[in-house]
Structure 1
């Protein structure tokens, strides 16, 4: 997607969340969209400040809360860790959480997806949504 199209998409997401479009809010969404990890609020704030030095921690919290409520971003609450965030338009994936380092690894498994559908079907259900989090330690 082109840069102007991405900016327009972000502006639309902010408006849909009931937020005024500002440089700071646009930067928050841009940084989160470009993240290849799952930043928590302080880390996201640090990254956004590199682009928009005047952005406050409160602005990051309020923006994420509004975008999360509207489904633009997902709040990930891994056991024993601060909430992390990712955009909702990312393709479906599951997570491995390294209990020793806190690292979160995304993965996709067609076999796991098939098994989940089969289990749901056997019990008379169709999956509407799901998430899988594996909490692991390296061997």
Structure 2
């Protein structure tokens, strides 16, 4: 993780070419597309079951990836890292929490907006005669 961050910062401030920006953009696009699709699918299932309180569930469905990041970060800390001081552990856990919170807010927002879009499309297709 630190080598990627160092390369990104070097490419920004040392005028070096770093080709992973395209890959990172592509990966972010795939994550956004997958998050939106899953949130729309779960919202559709909830609407078919006549559960119309879909707003927070769509946000939570989208933000669910943050739980996996948190669990993997804790597993990585317990199995591979050898942090000796309390300060290092605290710093690692705080950055992990911030990363998970940021991921939760971003993917939750993507999930909610995708679900909002599909609900608007579904209900605009209903004709009342």
Under a length normalisation based on structure 1, what TM-score does the superposition of the two structures give?
Answer: 0.21
Asked which structure has the greater CA Rg, the reply is 2
Q: Which has the higher strand share?
A: 1
TM-score, normalised with respect to structure 2:
0.22
RCO (CA 8 Å, sep 6+): is it higher in 1 or 2?
2
